Amino acid sequence: MAKNPLGKSRDVENPYATFMEGDFEIRVLKTYKIAKNETGDQYARWFTVAKSPMTYGSWEYGDTYRSEVLDNFQLTYASPEFIEAYRDDPQIRVAT
């Protein structure tokens, strides 16, 4: 079984990836599956932290469906580990 390179939780200031849309920001702190196993799984989830005008400057932690993030947000930052893991994923546009 392949090891998940994004399976260890990170701090909010050091996320694997950041997605934004308007005033909404989502940071990926952990994934539960390796990238190739997420494809086609509508229930694939990421551990994230989110901030928006409704959180009044605070971060809210929790699991979010990968599809929800990809359907509604734009990737604005990707760590080298995230780029390596998702470089072949057609749903995530990562510059290589």
pLDDT digits (tens, 9 = 90+) for 6-38: 999 999 999 999 999 999 999 999 999 999 999
Q: What is the pTM of this model?
A: 0.92
User: Side chain identity at 81, as an amino acid letter?
Assistant: E
Give the model's pLDDT for residue 2: 79
Report how many helices (DSSP H) and strands (DSSP E) the chain contains, helices first. 3, 5
Contacts of 68 by beta carbon, 8 Å cutoff, 6+ apart: none
Is pLDDT of 96 > 60?
no
pLDDT digits (tens, 9 = 90+) for 22-81: 999 999 999 999 999 998 899 999 999 999 999 998 999 999 999 999 999 999 999 999
Residue 26 tokens, joined: 């989502």
